Copies of this chain bind each other. A is one copy, B any other.
């Protein structure tokens, strides 16, 4: 569980609710008009913009991964893979049969090795999995960004529709207030959806994408070395060499000079 995403969303909701309650009641901030135009409009534009399959896979996968935190750093992963190499060295592929790593992708690879599959088959299968996964995560990121980009425009459209209705029916300027308040809600909703939800989620997914590409490539290389019964020391050394510099060290060493 990526607590930061949850905490951030909770903080955003608390801040906005506090603001709303400090100045009156929540009631006046609920507008079905604004909900329809922001969510309906963004949904319509996204439906045109992306292929249907991309929306179906990308939206939920993006949401899931924005809230998921990999329990292991790449460095932990290297340690775990080196441990598996140790076992495979000692008791052969059969020894891996009872191992069930937490990471489902690593777990799948271990099962393949334990079942004695061919190295080519393992590489093909795992690379295909990794690429499909990254493609969907990238689609998810693009969709959240596209929604974050068009939500404020639909907020403005909602406010314009409200203002046209207000002005067209206006007889007494002093009664203009409540209508104006409702019209402005669409702009407010659009800005909130974009700035508290969609754009930060898209940025986080971009970071996860980079991270998962490193991790899954690392796992594939490690599994193939285990398959080839490479020594644990060699496995660790070669995997560490693949990592970008910043992941090679423990966080504890990170105090800058």
Contact = CB atoms under 8 A, between A and B. Distances in A.
A48 interface: yes
A168 B181 CA distance: 6
Interface stretch (A76-84, A228-236, A246-254): A246-254
A104 B245 contact: no
Interface string A37-52: 1001101111111111
A6 to B, nearest CB: 9
Contacts of A45: 8, 12, 195-196, 199-200
A74 interface: no
Contacts of A43: 11
A127 B245 contact: yes
A106 to B, nearest CB: 9
A131 B245 contact: yes
Contacts of A246: 131-132, 135
A104 B257 CA distance: 6
Interface string A2-36: 01110111011011101110111000110001001
Which of the four size classes fits the interface of chain A?
A: 35 or more
B19 A200 contact: no
Given A16-B41, A19-B158, A131-B245, 18 more contacts: A4-B51, A5-B48, A12-B45, A12-B48, A19-B37, A24-B169, A48-B203, A50-B207, A53-B251, A132-B249, A137-B256, A157-B195, A160-B184, A164-B181, A167-B177, A167-B184, A170-B174, A173-B177
21 contacts: A4-B55, A8-B45, A20-B161, A28-B168, A48-B204, A50-B207, A128-B245, A131-B246, A133-B257, A136-B256, A146-B203, A157-B188, A157-B192, A157-B195, A164-B184, A166-B181, A167-B176, A167-B184, A168-B178, A170-B177, A171-B174
Interface of A: 3-5, 7-9, 11-12, 14-16, 18-20, 22-24, 28-29, 33, 36-37, 40-41, 43-53, 55, 57, 61, 66, 104-105, 108, 127-129, 131-133, 135-137, 146, 150, 153-154, 156-158, 160-174, 176-178, 180-181, 184-185, 187-188, 191-192, 194-196, 199-201, 203-204, 207, 245-246, 248-249, 251, 253-254, 256-257
